Structure 1
Amino acid sequence: MTSPDIASSQAGAGRHAADAAVAVDAATAASGLGGMASGAFAVAAATGLDPADCGGHALYSAAASHYVRRVMQARPELPALVAQASAEPLTRVWMEARLAELRQPAADAEQAIGQALRRLRAEVMCIVIERDLRGLATLAEVTGAMTDLAELSIQHALATLTEDMAPTFGRPVGEHSGEVQELIVVGMGKLGGRELNVSSDIDLIFLYDEDGDTAGGQRSLSNHEYFTRLGRRLISVLAETTADGYVFRVDMRLRPNGDAGPLACSLGMLEEYLVVQGREWERYAWIKGRVVSSLATPHAQRTADQLARLTTPFVFRRYLDYGVIAAIRSLHAQIRAEAAKRSGGLAGHGVNQRSADIKLGRGGIREIEFMAQVFQLIRGGQDLALRARPTLEVLAIAVERGLLPAGQALQLSDAYRFLRQLEHRLQYRDDAQTHHLPTSEQEQSAVARMMGCADWPALQARLAELQEPVAQQFEVTFSDPEQGQPPAETLWPALAHGEDEEAPCARLAQAGYSDCVGLLERLRATAASPRYRALSEQSRARFDLLVNRALDLAGRQDDADATIARFLDFFDAISRRASYLSLLSEYPQAMERVAHTLHASRWAATYLTRHPQLLDELLDAEALASVPDWEAFRARLGERLLAAHGQVEAQMDILRREHHAETFRVLLQDLHGRLTVEQIADRLSDLADAMLDVTLTAVWQQLPMRHRDTPRFAVIAYGRLGGKELGYASDLDIIFLHDDDDDGAAEIYAAYARRLITWLTSHTAAGMLFDVDTRLRPNGAAGLLVTSFESFRRYQLRQGDNTAWVWEHQALTRARFCAGDRELGARFERLREEVLCQPRDADTLRQDIVAMRHKVAEGHPNRSDRFDLKHDRGGMVDIEFTVQYLVLLHSRAHPELTRNAGNIALLRMAGQLGLIDATLAEAVGDAYRTFRARQHKLRLDGQDQARVPPQTIEAQARDVRALWQAVFGQD
């Protein structure tokens, strides 16, 4: 704002000879907007500036901005300063140096710092405008310079005022800690996000740590009163308009209780307010919240850290928070209505009312910000990277996370940059905080030229081109899912609360259900449950809607009664989480996918009920066709763990959520018939390898006794993981090796392994990662948890007194390196091949393996009349033992058998080598594939034991027994 004194001097001087539009025309005619103008005298004539004052340069800022011309007329030295300083980007260091030059010694310290800051602000504005209009500054440079100016102004003013108040009031002291307290100034909005406009207000909140009283001055004040006075004086220094203008307008309405609340509040009061009264829009505001006062002292840093711990759980929920969609939809409707009201008077001037306000109107800046914030609010509790403040940075992270298609993000980013640049050019004209497009032809022409457009229609066309995709994306993201939907039949809660039983049962039977009495009892029990009655009005309305949809969707299935029972179990698990109810309400397609999942598999239903955060995966249609990139997965997960370094529980939860999500993606593709059993096992095994790899790194970084940057440590997989035949709920059979000559290596790696097992097996809020079995290590449970490679080598090669048993060599046929030090892993693979290629006596080996098969059979008796696919004679164990025998006996002559290629491939290889009948080998391979597929289906159906009617697999079992007879000479 321009003071009367400045306005009077400008009018008296009469130094601007043309309207701003003419000036811009002259400047752009001289050289075109965005480059160095060669027509210095032409521009100077248009602006009324003496070329000498410009240092021989044409200043675009003076040509295009009324504000710049006014300032330069009041300060004749400015054109030369601007011409010189605008050659390089402004830095905080330059501003600090200029402030020191501008600040004059004075008896009134407040007046002196205020005047210096105002004069500095005028210089920064002129330089920023000059660089921007000459095409030398990016949007980030402009907003960064203005943010630096605001932070510098707050910090210097605060330091000056604190010193000025010390003789009278002393320093505020905490009543508990006895420490000197400091005013913590939080920048919100654009200031907090380092995106400050050239003519923006700054949104501030004043906080302090402890109550108490001041000490060391002539009189004492309570800390609250002291900080209130200090805050008022700070606002005055920044916002009061003097002959030198102002520094920044200050808006304090984002503080607790707004204008009705105290100007400065303690952290305790803020915490209570956020917990009891914090509203949804305040969560959006605090996303950008950032301490902008100095953090130079330990107390200030501790207070800032305490503030972050206090506000983070308020802004970012630990679970996926889809409730924000409806809240943003409601808030945006209010904002758009207000914007339409403000711009309504412009429609009569030929302005498109819908786009008159480039900030709040359709396709405007606020809609882009909302689309970035929705990712932050939904997922920022789990993904720390999404807590970034700048809008463009958030959009880029959303693309990296696969939350936003790159093409859409590019559209949003391009529109955001253009709109922000246009916003600046509107504000350059008169240093006014405006977002409305001009209505006069002269202003329209001037702004169009400043944006590099030939005329106003060209600018309007460009705006429409950019804003329409933004508006469409916003409407798709925040559209009300209930609009345009046909009303669902309200079976619930009418049935649950009805008196008559016969009519409700008839309605349920008509809807597709058989056990109508049982279902009605279940529905009535749900309606009467304390959990349902405790729901908020909004959550109950959503719950009612979802149960009606579930009754409709489940009724279409061939097992409607089982599906609705799983639905009700699922709703019971998620009903206390308003966010999950919101997700399913907002995305009807997710409900349909839930219905398919619950119908298709009892195990899947239980998994989803146990991990409802996986609902998020049902929104991603591409998940049904995606092929994992495991290296990218490792990198992404590693970044997330690094961001949470030092927060062990958070890191463990990240691991679990990522594993559950990836497992669920495999499960969805499995249920849709897009993967074979072998492909499922491969993906689950690869996922386990990746999880072990990143967990090893995270645990090592947390280990206090680590003695090197990278451990010489390897994880060896046995059993199903070793053979890459992992199932959804399989244990991990693993052992640990190290190869480190350090004197303390054994103790260090033992501690490392124990901590690794804890990370893998502990139950946290996000569930468990894996069950782990380490009994296949040398000497089993009695042996060392971690074995040195040399000891392991001697044990396997039977060198010395302590040597491996035959069954351990059997297990070795399906072992492989899966995570850790790759060089050590390669040494293990060479040793494995050497062990498997050892000469063996056929009769002795045959007797040992047959004896072991008998022991296994005794340990898994089957007294039912059904065939156990795994353990009964003619089942999977017989096939596996046969393959292991062939590998151990013939690898010396045929080293290709040492490949860990899976039982089916090894059978085929043995047939091709003439070790067994090739036709029988193919038949048994097919049998193994059939057994695995049947076992897999039974597990998905929730069966603990894989047993089937014997007649359904009689032919396959007969082939397996025939192969056993041929190889071992006995039935």
Structure 2
Amino acid sequence: MAAKIPDPIRSLQQQRLQSFNELLVSMELAQTLWTTEIQQQFQTCWTGSDFVWDICRKSPELVLELIDEGILFRAFTTEISQALSQALSICSTEAELMTALRKFRQKHQLRIIFRDLNRLAPMTETTADVSAMADACIKLSCDWLYDDCCQQMGTPYGAQLGDEPTPQKMIVLGMGKLGAHELNLSSDIDLIFCYPYKGETQGAPRTLTNQEFFIRLGQRLIKVLDSNTADGFVFRVDMRLRPYGQSGALVLSSTAMEQYYQDQGRDWERYALIKARWIAGEPQPAQQLMEVLRPFVYRRYIDFGAIAALRDMKQMIKREVARKSLHNNIKLGHGGIREIEFIVQSFQLIHGGRDKQLQNRSLLSNLGHLEANGYLPAVVCQELREANTFLRNTEHALQAMSDKQTQTLPNNPEEQLRLAWVMGFESWELFLEQLNSHREKVETHFNAIVSEDDDEAPEQDASDTDWQAFWGRQMELPEEEISLLERLGFKQTSEIHRKLINLRDGKILKTVRRQSADRINQFMPLLIKNVLQDENPDQALIRLLTIVESVLRRTAYLVLLMENHAALKHLVSLCSLSPWITEQIARHPALLDEFLNINNLYAPPKKTELEDELRQQLAHIPEDDLEMQMESLRYFRMAHILKVAAAQVAGKMPLMKESDYLTWTAETILSSVLDISRRQLTSRHGHPGKDDTGEPSFLIVGYGKLGGIELGPGSDLDLVFIHNGNSNQMTDGERSIDNGMFFTRLGQRIVHMLSTNTISGQLYEVDMRLRPSGNSGLLVSSLNAFEKYQHNEAWTWEHQALVRARCISGDPALIKAFEQVRETVLSIERDNTSLQKDIREMRHKMATNLGTKSTKGGTLPAAWTEQDEFHIKHDHGGIVDIEFIVQYAVLAWSHKHPVLTRWTDNIRILEDLETEKLLSIEDVATLTEAYKTYRQTLHRHSMQKKGSSVSGDQLHEHRTKVITIWNQLLKDSVPLPAS
């Protein structure tokens, strides 16, 4: 040891070494392996463990056996099950089984403590070693007893509905530290017993139900492990974590377990199941049980309902520490082991539903993930790691002394000195100083994680009391309630009163769980107080009530808002400004998670940050879990559209940034969808067959707003799929198909992932009509076929669409080839008169079919008046005019000015038209300003859930100027709006 050996310890070591050497001599045991170094290591071990000293004193041959086998000086975790299996193979009676288990445990407990106290094994290896020994003892004992029970009572059979009965085995779940492979040196083992299906035994004179059989098996297993005989015990068994606790049946069926947790599971049981792991039983039913229990532990989205439960548990811990005077307990006292576990598990419960990497039983692994993903600062995680190691080593030292499950620091000075020296300190005071330093850091972090936020709680005033009387149905007459709403400051009192009464007295609120009703009762006063601070409290409350109604059975989201007053304030403000935001959150309450960090809500990420974020989200999901991948993609899109909407209505994001953000989001999603779809298809059919040109690849091309980097919040995606594979080649998988079929199925999968309606809705509406030959054409075209079509068959309007075509995701070489085809087609020299005629006719057709009534009917109006509505996109003088002007310019002039083909967005093409002196500075400025104004108006209307039209007296100047430029360029005679 590094520390100087105090005299009392030196005396104890010398005394025990002398006694042991005398035993070796008296028993005539060979001492050739008993080297000086090993003697010193055993002296250290005997200093810290009277339990090991007693084993060595009673069975000195066991020490030499361990030395001879060489397992004192290496890890044995992976071999321990095989070693126990050999030891139990000769057992023919339960008594022999019990003796063999206890002898085995003594030997390996000696080995583990020796390695731990001499620091030959790190703390994590010690806990893994003890856990592996427990696993082996439980599983092999259960198997032995099962066979014995079957001989005596028959074999239990059962089946899922419609299946043939099959033999059933008991499932044993290890909980707590056992489940996490983190058992300490003298832990109890927390177990839950279960069996797959109901049924009865066969093959014995008397038939038993499966439950009766497995209860007897469970009782025998507990006896074999837990009984304290002359040889000691194997593991103390604790069954109190089972459903219904001590009053519940010892063993339940999987169905009964599922029903219990679904109907009666409590918050502390969610904590217990975080570390649950099946140890014994058939793999398939055991794994099915774990999957059934997972949704109870980990909510689908971020679970802020856990916060209130965390607070309750925190208070319970404090009361328990005070009541039992546990301040000297390094597990339960302040800054102890349980507080570290509590910190980590709180993040698991809150975020584990979304972040599957937090569905991990290991405390240290979870800490690493919390640090790597920004849940906790690195310094906090490092301090918690260091404290955990120190406290667990101290716990082992305490338990090694007498093989007792204790975490209480000794009061006896001699025991204090022995503990301090084993831990590497020369005095108790030095050890205590280091221990207290760790505990203070843990307590600080523990208090910070689930703070009471007393300072933030709003003070109650008279209106709160009145509101509680309203909500508690204590007012006798509706008139009193309406009068209160007037005094509070509402204007639409009748409407608001009706909606509040519908919520308060509605059927849903009467049928929700008591906890949910309590949360709503707590939330409503806070909501009223916040909406009264808004400029339009009536509108704010009416909209917020739709969100409240949408989460009546998921009130954990209300807890989020009660815990985060800034989030509630911003939510009220944004919903008051935008019915669209209100509707999105009411449909998808998980979006409330985004209000936790207000700074991020208004800060658009860069495209690389978006890609990294989505990559990390999908990395947590198994590659074969398509449903979860689709849900994750939908949440990703919804969250970022919400951020765009919030920034827009708050006036914190300009139009071009908004479109960039929405377009980047779509591009990021499309790239991931392509990767997922291709990965799934190649796993089934293999990779497309190569030819002389190399590896075939696939390309997603975006048209329209996606291609022009001009997506709005509700935009669909105009897509075209291209490949460069040889259709005569076959894929190289077991279920081989030709390349053409492979790429067609790839396109189908992409469309399926994007457009399928899941519980979170549709990812994007997809429009594939711009592909060659439209709806009648192939879903996926080869690049050669695409090129031929564009040169020989495409209409002018298809070349117009190609102006806004842009590669979104695919192989760089194929992207380059497509861009060359696009440039070549756009640069064809065209007859200007014919081109103008084609574009005019298509424009008038669109205005007739899609514009307002003033342009429908096949003819243009003589003049427009202020009474006519103006459709910002489709009416003459609107967005489509500007887009057609730009497309005409590219098709008409790019054969002489190839620079016009380099961009796909209207603004930059207009800038190039000015640079090339093809349009005047004034005309470009006019078109650019009008285009931005129109799009800004449409985005604003979208947030307000308004249509795409405005009254005739709006945007008059822009319309007039756009039509004037249109008529000049396209040789048209569209009438101007009336002045």
- Work out whether the TM-score is over 0.5: yes
TM-score grouping bracket, smaller chain normalisation: 0.7 to 0.9
Report the Cα distance in structure 2 between the residues aligned to 1:156 and 1:252, rounded to whole angstroms.
19
Q: For the structure 1 residues 500 and 41, does the alpha-carbon distance in structure 2 shift closer, same or farther, using more than 3 Å as the test?
A: closer
Match of 1:788 in 2: 782
Quick check: 1:797–1:835 contact (8 Å CA) kept in 2?
yes
Q: Are 1:410 and 2:382 an aligned pair?
A: yes
Match of 1:731 in 2: 716
SS of match in other structure, 1:433: coil
Q: Are 1:941 and 2:926 an aligned pair?
A: no
SS of match in other structure, 2:166: coil
Match of 2:278 in 1: 291
Give 1:812-891 correspondences, 5 Å limit: 812-862=802-852, 863=854, 865-891=868-894
Match of 2:490 in 1: 513
Q: Are 1:125 and 2:109 an aligned pair?
A: yes
Aligned pair partner of 2:585 in 608, 633, 649 = 608
SS of match in other structure, 1:733: strand
Q: For the structure 1 residues 142 and 709, does the alpha-carbon distance in structure 2 shift closer, same or farther, using more than 3 Å as the test?
A: farther
Q: Are 1:203 and 2:190 an aligned pair?
A: yes
Aligned pair partner of 1:472 in 405, 420, 444 = 444
Q: Are 1:229 and 2:216 an aligned pair?
A: yes
Q: For the structure 1 residues 834 and 417, does the alpha-carbon distance in structure 2 shift closer, same or farther, using more than 3 Å as the test?
A: farther
Moved more, 44-53 or 729-738: 44-53
Q: Are 1:683 and 2:661 an aligned pair?
A: yes
SS of match in other structure, 1:508: helix
SS of match in other structure, 1:226: helix
Q: Are 1:251 and 2:228 an aligned pair?
A: no
Match of 1:158 in 2: 142
Amino acid at match of 2:725: D
Structure 2, unmatched stretches of 5+, are 25-30, 689-695, 729-737, 855-866, 974-979
Give 1:579-658 correspondences, 5 Å limit: 579-624=556-601, 625=603, 627-628=605-606, 629-642=609-622, 645=624, 647-658=625-636
Report the Cα distance in structure 2 between the residues aligned to 1:268 and 1:675, rounded to whole angstroms.
53
Q: For the structure 1 residues 708 and 602, does the alpha-carbon distance in structure 2 shift closer, same or farther, using more than 3 Å as the test?
A: same
Q: Are 1:898 and 2:901 an aligned pair?
A: yes
TM-score normalised according to structure 2 size:
0.87
Q: For the structure 1 residues 631 and 569, does the alpha-carbon distance in structure 2 shift closer, same or farther, using more than 3 Å as the test?
A: closer
SS of match in other structure, 2:699: strand
Report the Cα distance in structure 2 between the residues aligned to 1:103 and 1:709, rounded to whole angstroms.
51
Aligned pair partner of 1:487 in 457, 460, 463 = 460
Amino acid at match of 1:810: Q
Quick check: 2:127–2:184 contact (8 Å CA) kept in 1?
yes
Match of 2:319 in 1: 337
Match of 2:757 in 1: 763
Structure 1 residue 721: deviation in Å? Answer: 0.8
Q: Are 1:564 and 2:567 an aligned pair?
A: no
Give 1:106-121 correspondences, 5 Å limit: 108-121=92-105
CA deviations on 1:668-706 (whole Å, 9 max, x unpaired) are 333443322111111111111121222233334445995
Amino acid at match of 2:849: G
Structure 1 residue 409: deviation in Å? Answer: 3.1
Report the Cα distance in structure 2 between the residues aligned to 1:416 and 1:513, rounded to whole angstroms.
55
Quick check: 1:23–1:63 contact (8 Å CA) kept in 2?
no
Q: For the structure 1 residues 851 and 742, does the alpha-carbon distance in structure 2 shift closer, same or farther, using more than 3 Å as the test?
A: closer
Amino acid at match of 1:611: H
Q: For the structure 1 residues 954 and 118, does the alpha-carbon distance in structure 2 shift closer, same or farther, using more than 3 Å as the test?
A: same
Report the Cα distance in structure 2 between the residues aligned to 1:221 and 1:521, rounded to whole angstroms.
60
Q: For the structure 1 residues 674 and 123, does the alpha-carbon distance in structure 2 shift closer, same or farther, using more than 3 Å as the test?
A: farther
Structure 1 residue 181: deviation in Å? Answer: 1.8
Q: For the structure 1 residues 664 and 130, does the alpha-carbon distance in structure 2 shift closer, same or farther, using more than 3 Å as the test?
A: farther
Structure 1 residue 933: deviation in Å? Answer: 2.0
CA deviations on 1:115-155 (whole Å, 9 max, x unpaired) are 33323323333333333333342332111111111111112
Give 1:57-76 correspondences, 5 Å limit: 57=37, 58-59=40-41, 60-76=44-60
Q: For the structure 1 residues 480 and 905, does the alpha-carbon distance in structure 2 shift closer, same or farther, using more than 3 Å as the test?
A: same
Q: For the structure 1 residues 639 and 713, does the alpha-carbon distance in structure 2 shift closer, same or farther, using more than 3 Å as the test?
A: same
Q: For the structure 1 residues 837 and 383, does the alpha-carbon distance in structure 2 shift closer, same or farther, using more than 3 Å as the test?
A: same
Q: For the structure 1 residues 452 and 169, does the alpha-carbon distance in structure 2 shift closer, same or farther, using more than 3 Å as the test?
A: same
Report the Cα distance in structure 1 between the residues aligned to 2:666 and 2:10, rounded to whole angstroms.
66
Q: For the structure 1 residues 608 and 75, does the alpha-carbon distance in structure 2 shift closer, same or farther, using more than 3 Å as the test?
A: same
Structure 1, unmatched stretches of 5+, are 1-18, 28-39, 345-352
Q: For the structure 1 residues 606 and 451, does the alpha-carbon distance in structure 2 shift closer, same or farther, using more than 3 Å as the test?
A: same
Match of 1:6 in 2: none
Report the Cα distance in structure 2 between the residues aligned to 1:886 and 1:136, rounded to whole angstroms.
79
CA deviations on 1:183-202 (whole Å, 9 max, x unpaired) are 22111111111111111011
SS of match in other structure, 1:642: coil
SS of match in other structure, 2:605: coil
Identity %: 35
Q: For the structure 1 residues 306 and 99, does the alpha-carbon distance in structure 2 shift closer, same or farther, using more than 3 Å as the test?
A: closer
Structure 1 residue 709: deviation in Å? Answer: 4.2
Quick check: 1:657–1:766 contact (8 Å CA) kept in 2?
yes
SS of match in other structure, 1:915: coil
Report the Cα distance in structure 2 between the residues aligned to 1:455 and 1:611, rounded to whole angstroms.
60
Q: Are 1:263 and 2:243 an aligned pair?
A: no
Match of 1:964 in 2: 966
Amino acid at match of 1:64: G
Report the Cα distance in structure 2 between the residues aligned to 1:219 and 1:386, rounded to whole angstroms.
48
SS of match in other structure, 1:714: strand
Q: Are 1:718 and 2:703 an aligned pair?
A: yes
Query: How many residues were matched structurally?
Result: 918
Report the Cα distance in structure 1 between the residues aligned to 2:833 and 2:14, rounded to whole angstroms.
106
Match of 1:420 in 2: 392
Report the Cα distance in structure 1 between the residues aligned to 2:314 and 2:687, rounded to whole angstroms.
50
Report the Cα distance in structure 1 between the residues aligned to 2:645 and 2:96, rounded to whole angstroms.
69
Report the Cα distance in structure 2 between the residues aligned to 1:596 and 1:42, rounded to whole angstroms.
77
Quick check: 1:493–1:527 contact (8 Å CA) kept in 2?
no
Structure 1 residue 273: deviation in Å? Answer: 2.8
Structure 1 residue 655: deviation in Å? Answer: 2.2
Amino acid at match of 2:619: E
Structure 1 residue 482: deviation in Å? Answer: 6.3
Report the Cα distance in structure 1 between the residues aligned to 2:798 and 2:846, rounded to whole angstroms.
14
Structure 1 residue 47: deviation in Å? Answer: 8.8
Report the Cα distance in structure 1 between the residues aligned to 2:724 and 2:373, rounded to whole angstroms.
37
Quick check: 2:701–2:719 contact (8 Å CA) kept in 1?
yes
Structure 1 residue 808: deviation in Å? Answer: 0.9
Moved more, 851-860 or 188-197: 851-860
User: Pairwise CA RMSD of aligned residues?
Assistant: 3.1
Q: For the structure 1 residues 87 and 74, does the alpha-carbon distance in structure 2 shift closer, same or farther, using more than 3 Å as the test?
A: closer
Amino acid at match of 2:399: Q
Match of 2:303 in 1: 321
Report the Cα distance in structure 2 between the residues aligned to 1:879 and 1:128, rounded to whole angstroms.
79
Amino acid at match of 1:964: W
Report the Cα distance in structure 1 between the residues aligned to 2:594 and 2:206, rounded to whole angstroms.
63
Give 1:188-199 correspondences, 5 Å limit: 188-199=175-186
Quick check: 1:53–1:79 contact (8 Å CA) kept in 2?
no
CA deviations on 1:505-540 (whole Å, 9 max, x unpaired) are 554344333223332333233333222333444323
Moved more, 844-853 or 717-726: 844-853
SS of match in other structure, 2:494: helix
Amino acid at match of 1:445: L
Q: For the structure 1 residues 265 and 538, does the alpha-carbon distance in structure 2 shift closer, same or farther, using more than 3 Å as the test?
A: closer
Report the Cα distance in structure 2 between the residues aligned to 1:546 and 1:167, rounded to whole angstroms.
61
SS of match in other structure, 1:291: strand
Report the Cα distance in structure 2 between the residues aligned to 1:505 and 1:216, rounded to whole angstroms.
75
Report the Cα distance in structure 2 between the residues aligned to 1:661 and 1:590, rounded to whole angstroms.
15
